[in-house]
Amino acid sequence: MELSVIKKDKDVLRFMVSGVTAAFANALRRTMMAEVPTMAIDDVIVIENTSVLFDEFLAHRFGLIPLTTDLDAYTLPEKCDCKSELGCNRCRASFTMEIEAKDKTTTVYSGDLEPDNPSIRPVSEKIPIVKLAPGQKLKLEAYAKLGRGQEHAKWQPVSACTYKYLPTVSIDTSKCDGCGDCIKYCPKCLLEMKDKKLVVKDVEECTLCTQCIKRCSKEPCPIKVGWSETDFIFLVESTGSLPATKIVEEAAKQIGEKASELLQILKDTA
Contact stretch for Zn ion (CB under 5 A) within 18-26, 54-62, 84-92, 95-103: 84-92
> Which of 2, 81 has the CB closer to Zn ion?
81
In the complex with Zn ion, the residue whose CB is nearer, 93 or 140, is 93
AA letter at 233: I
Tell me the closest approach of the beta carbon of residue 152 to Zn ion, in angstroms: 19
Choose which of 82, 176, 183, 255 interacts with Zn ion (CB under 5 A): 82
Query: What are the φ/ψ torsions at residue 222 (nearest 5 degrees)?
Result: -75, -10
* Partners of 4 in the β-ladder: 16
Q: Which is nearer to Zn ion, 32 or 91 (CB)?
A: 91
Give the C-alpha distances (Å, rounded to integers) separating 84 from 81, 120, 261.
8, 21, 27
Looking at 31-39, 72-80, 112-120, 132-140, which segment touches Zn ion (CB under 5 A)? 72-80
Minimum CB–partner distance for residue 204 and Zn ion (Å): 45
Residue 22: enclosing H or E segment and its boundaries?
A: helix 22-34
Q: Which is closer to Zn ion, CB of 88 or CB of 262? A: 88
Q: What share of the chain is helix, strand, coil (3-state, %, to 5)?
A: 25, 35, 40
Q: Measured between alpha carbons, how far is 174 from 9 in angstroms, rounded to an integer? A: 42
Of 11-19, 85-93, 181-189, 225-233, the window that binds Zn ion (rule: CB under 5 A) is: 85-93
Smallest distance from Zn ion to CB 77, Å? 6
Classify 83 in phi/psi space as left (phi over 0), alpha (psi -120 to 50) or beta: left
Residue 101 near residue 115 (C-beta atoms within 8 A): no
Q: Helix or strand or coil: residue 117?
A: coil
Q: Which stretch binds Zn ion (CB under 5 A): 76-84, 104-112, 148-156, 183-191?
A: 76-84
77 cis-preceded (ω within 30 degrees of 0): no
In the complex, minimum distance from the CB of residue 235 to Zn ion, in angstroms, rounded to a whole number:
35
Query: Considering only 91-99, 103-111, 120-128, 143-151, which stretch makes contact with Zn ion by CB under 5 A?
Result: 91-99
User: Nearest distance from residue 88's CB to Zn ion, in Å?
Assistant: 4
Of 91, 169, 171, 216, the one binding Zn ion by CB under 5 A:
91
Please select the residue that binds Zn ion; options are 5, 88, 209, 265, rule is CB under 5 A. Answer: 88
| CB-side neighbour CA atoms (13 Å) of 76 | 11
* Nearest CA among 7, 12, 10, 20 for reference residue 252: 20
Q: How far is the CB of 92 from Zn ion (least distance, A)?
A: 7
Number of residues that bind Zn ion (CB under 5 A): 6
Check the CA dihedral 81-85-88-93 and report its sign.
positive
**Which CB, 86 or 259, lies closer to Zn ion?**
86
Beta carbon nearer to Zn ion, 87 or 157? 87
Task: State how far the alpha carbon of 49 is from the alpha carbons of 66, 132, 150, 158, 262, in Å.
Answer: 23, 10, 31, 32, 50
80 touches Zn ion by CB under 5 A: yes
Closer residue to Zn ion (CB): 16 or 82: 82
Q: Which residues contact Zn ion (rule: CB under 5 A)?
A: 80, 82, 87-88, 90-91
